[in-house]
Structure 1
Amino acid sequence: MTRTPETPLPSPEQRRRLREAQSLSQADVAAAMGVTRATVRSWENGRTTPRGSKRDAYARLLTGAEEVTTHQENPAPALVGAVTGPVRASPGHAETTPEPPSETPPASELAPEPEPGLEPLSAPLTPDQAFDALYAFCAPALVRQTYLLTGRRELARESVERAFQLAWHRWPEVAMDRDPAGWVRATAYEFALSPWHRLRPRHRNPEPPPTAPADRALLDVLLQLPPVYRRTLLLYDGVGLDLPETAAETEASTPAAANRLLHAREAVAKRLPELAEPKELHRRLAEVASAERLRATKPTTVRWGGEQRARHWTRAAIAFTVVLIGATTLTLRTAPDHYEPPLAPGVTVRGVPPRVAPGPLSAEELALRAKLKGETVSGPERLVPEPG
């Protein structure tokens, strides 16, 4: 007896994209399939897979989105494929509908490219080799992306180094992640956009802008955008992520990410009309990033720096713990162990006659004293008791 082959399903990474391409939520899919929302989330995470008739129905449900996206040359779904219907703009702007780019953006300096001579190894990689391979693949392009995000060269390099140092510190978690490059990219962006950099003395001194006037104008427009709009524009039009991935990395819904992208493009086109086309904007972003000749630090230096930083923080934590224990012990040894009532403040007593020293005894007083002294031993019985 032969077994009927199961209906093929898209990969877990594509299931969410195909669902959002039809403007369906997880609750809508759960209601159509007769399952719970947690089950649909488990299907999209890859933890479970539907079987039997539910597998066939789930595949047919995703077919409509597949037909929408297969005719596009760009592997990332366009804005109109991910958000159907008009997107409401903020107050003061007209309602607009996102339109897909006419062509697939060409490969640029913003996209990660493997270093020359980097070939896959047949033997299992050690943690050091795997980290170095990820660094060589992502770091050069990530430095250029972060420069467009911040407009500062040193901050871009520092952000990428700190992101990879944190990745090396949490390497088992990063290595098992479905998208290690996205993990490092999100960490670098978060560090680069941190508002605490404004308190650093180095941040008060602006860096020299690009030499080309066109590059300087584009970078100036980007830096005037809100950070979240700038990040959305860079991820979609610069890096080339699709809209669901951009929304996930910016921790926003897909309609919100589309709205941010539209407003960011509108702001850029208002200042620079020649960049109204997404293809031209993508090309110019790549040119500005590649013109700076930014170089990343060697991976061995980054790993060594991360280990040194972790070692210093560990020593600082140990020193702080020792100081805290010592201060607690000293307090326990010197603190009183019983209650001592406070002394009452002094009060002035009035009406007491002044103390007067006795004067010389008169003759009668002298005779009386002599008489008392003489009768103390041989006096009356009432003065000297006798033993019973």
Structure 2
Amino acid sequence: MTRSTTDEAAVPPLPSPKERRRLREAKSLSEEEVAAAVGVTRATVRSWETGRTNPRGRKRALYAKLIAPEPAVKPPAVKPPAVKPSAVKPPAATPEAAVPDAAVPEPADLPVAPPVPEAPPAAPPADAPPAPDPAPDSDTRSGAEAPDERRVSPAEAFDELYARTAPGLVRQTYLLTGRRALARESVERAFELAWQRWPEVAVDRDPAGWVRAAAYEYAMSPWHRLRRTHRQPDAPPTEPGKRALFDALLDLPPAYRRTLLLYDGVGLDLPETAAETEASTPAAAGRLMTARAAVAERLPELADAAPAEQSALLHDRIGGLARAEHVPVPRSARAVRTGSENKARLWTRAAVAGVALLIAVTGLTLHTAPTHYEPPISPPERVGGVPPRGGPQKLTAQDLKLQKSLSEQLAHGPERLVPRLE
């Protein structure tokens, strides 16, 4: 095992990216300070807090030590004093019974005696019955083993989370989008995704926040504008006060609207709101103040209120608007789990079919492709401006007769000059 692997094994596991940011802001540390302490850039720290990358080696140990929460100071355990059984002495052995009251000397006249060691604990009487042993099914043992005997299954834990958070989350998403059908679809889609990643969601610090963030991200996707059913928001409330608040929320930009709903509607604090919206804390504070000012222009009772009163008033108004509107009830938890499993199964089969098709096409191409390269023959073309081919021309009849006569006659001269016919 290498040294880096040993170091990573010694470092405790890092919290989730959302928890990393919360711990850093709880210690009042900025991204620049963490980057300078660990020895990386600010962009790297932001990448760690968004979950895109994770630190390794020595930087992982430094980062984990830097954002580790302060250990809670436990009060010292007070051990109760041991109760010692007193020795049973006969009444005649006491000095008060042996000496009359008149003969008892004053404390000043009593002689100083050496300290007497304590008598050992008296043994119980021989005829006393022994203490009965606790029964195996006593209350103490049953209480200690109760958590182990009753374990909640993943489906039961998911159903409990769904029943507790789904109805309220649909109303919150409706205020975020202004569309009832889209709000229900977003919540069900978020819970389907949560069931597919349940091992990760179950150990999260805030499972309801995980599902809420997924539902908000899906609901605020700009691709829904291309769908005919979600192009226009639903009809606003008929009551003037609720309609003014509803219109003021929908007129806000999506990021400002989400920040206002998380802080004043859901009740998150500013660092948690900033972490869920993936913004810095000052940026989240600026969005919140701007959104409050825009809503206060529509609601005159908010303009003269203090910030604390304004937050409480907005919380009540947003909660009342969410409860007053009729939103569709989401499907049952079992139906959502079944739909999630069917979608996962469908996507798995589609991926397997796509890979099989790619393998088949590749094999067919390799089987039918030529084994060597043959350059293509270019088609003929007529070229102008080229002179005629030179060389001997076709012999005429007179030339052929002369050639024949010369070949039949012997030449006069040296033998070496005699031409040969080949």
Q: TM-score, normalised by structure 1?
A: 0.62
Q: Residue 64 of structure 1 corresponds to which residue in structure 2?
A: none
Q: Residue 343 of structure 1 corresponds to which residue in structure 2?
A: 377
Q: Residue 166 of structure 1 corresponds to which residue in structure 2?
A: 193
Superposition deviation, residue 297 in structure 1: 1.5
Q: In the alignment, is residue 187 of structure 1 matched against residue 220 of structure 2?
A: no
The aligned length equals 282
Superposition deviation, residue 250 in structure 1: 1.1
Q: Residue 259 of structure 1 corresponds to which residue in structure 2?
A: 286
Distance 1:328 1:201, change over 3 A: farther
CA contact (8 A) 1:247 1:254 kept: yes
CA contact (8 A) 1:228 1:250 kept: yes
Q: Residue 290 of structure 1 corresponds to which residue in structure 2?
A: 323
Runs of 4+ in 1 over 3 A off after TM superposition: 12-32, 36-46, 347-352
Secondary structure (helix, strand or coil) at the match of 1:297 reads coil
Deviations 1:330-369 (A, max 9, x none): 22222222111211322448969xxxxxxxxxxxxxxxxx
CA contact (8 A) 1:27 1:37 kept: no
Given residue 337 of structure 1, which amino acid in structure 2 is its aligned partner? T
Q: In the alignment, is residue 299 of structure 1 matched against residue 333 of structure 2?
A: yes
- CA RMSD in angstroms comes to 4.2
Q: Residue 113 of structure 1 corresponds to which residue in structure 2?
A: none
Measured in 2, the distance between the counterparts of 1:167 and 1:14 equals: 18
Superposition deviation, residue 224 in structure 1: 1.3
Superposition deviation, residue 25 in structure 1: 4.1
Distance 1:26 1:300, change over 3 A: same
Distance 1:135 1:43, change over 3 A: farther
Superposition deviation, residue 194 in structure 1: 1.0
CA contact (8 A) 2:264 2:314 kept: yes
Superposition deviation, residue 211 in structure 1: 2.9
Q: Sequence identity, in percent?
A: 64
Distance 1:158 1:14, change over 3 A: closer
Distance 1:50 1:349, change over 3 A: closer
Q: Residue 348 of structure 2 corresponds to which residue in structure 1?
A: 314
Q: Residue 127 of structure 2 corresponds to which residue in structure 1?
A: none
Q: In the alignment, is residue 224 of structure 1 matched against residue 258 of structure 2?
A: no
CA contact (8 A) 1:30 1:37 kept: no
Q: TM-score, normalised by structure 2?
A: 0.57
Distance 1:147 1:122, change over 3 A: farther
Q: In the alignment, is residue 269 of structure 1 matched against residue 303 of structure 2?
A: no
Measured in 2, the distance between the counterparts of 1:29 and 1:317 equals: 42
Distance 1:15 1:199, change over 3 A: closer
Distance 1:123 1:313, change over 3 A: same
Measured in 2, the distance between the counterparts of 1:122 and 1:44 equals: 37
Q: In the alignment, is residue 245 of structure 1 matched against residue 272 of structure 2?
A: yes
Superposition deviation, residue 289 in structure 1: 0.8
Q: In the alignment, is residue 146 of structure 1 matched against residue 173 of structure 2?
A: yes
Measured in 2, the distance between the counterparts of 1:156 and 1:256 equals: 27
Given residue 239 of structure 1, which amino acid in structure 2 is its aligned partner? V
Q: Residue 130 of structure 1 corresponds to which residue in structure 2?
A: 157
Q: Residue 67 of structure 1 corresponds to which residue in structure 2?
A: none
Higher relative contact order (CA 8 A, sep 6+): 1
Secondary structure (helix, strand or coil) at the match of 1:313 reads helix
Alignment of 1:68-87 (within 5 A): none
Q: Which has the larger radius of gyration?
A: 2
Q: Residue 4 of structure 1 corresponds to which residue in structure 2?
A: none
Given residue 365 of structure 2, which amino acid in structure 1 is its aligned partner? T
CA contact (8 A) 1:30 1:40 kept: no
Q: Residue 311 of structure 2 corresponds to which residue in structure 1?
A: 278
Given residue 184 of structure 2, which amino acid in structure 1 is its aligned partner? R
Query: Mind listing any 5+ residue stretches in structure 2 that lack a counterpart?
Result: 1-15, 38-58, 75-146, 304-309, 390-422
Query: Mind listing any 5+ residue stretches in structure 1 that lack a counterpart?
Result: 1-11, 57-119, 353-388
